[in-house]
Amino acid sequence: MAILGSESHTLTSTVKIVNQVEVECVKCYSCGFTEECTPAYISKVCQRYQGKWLCGLCAEAVKDEVVRSKRRITIEEALNRHINFYKEFRSSSARLNKTEPPIVAMSKILRRSLDSPRPHL
């Protein structure tokens, strides 16, 4: 794990050159998802989220928190809300499967809802 400067995102030791573009593996501060990104993109995301790197899904969830809030909130507050929601979600689903990512749980919920009978209108 390497910390660049004062930023608190987590990088693995893997640095690759893909088609002459340097990419690094970076882990989401919120959900732990790992992605390969360019250093410039990592820096841009970290600047937006108080030095923390977020995957695209968590970044969208934070934006949604800002939009859905009844009062004006900061990105930092929206990020804290998202992280707290994620922690509660993980702790409530931990009994089912500790290693199951949230996206897998959501796909199971979607499948169940699609398979359930619907009332005829």
Query: Which residues is 21 bridged to in the sheet?
Result: 18
Model confidence over 88-107: pLDDT tens digits? 887 776 555 556 677 777 77
Domains of the chain, by residue range, sit at: 10-115
Do residues 36 and 51 lie in contact, with contact meaning Cβ atoms separated by under 8 Å?
no
Give residue-wise pLDDT tens across range 47-79: 999 899 999 999 999 999 999 888 899 999 999
What letter would DSSP give residue 8?
-
Comparing 8-22, 27-41, 56-70, which segment has the lowest mean pLDDT? 8-22
Whole-angstrom distance, CA of residue 6 vs CA of residue 32: 20
Half-sphere exposure of 119 (CA within 13 A, CB side): 1
pTM of the full predicted structure?
0.58
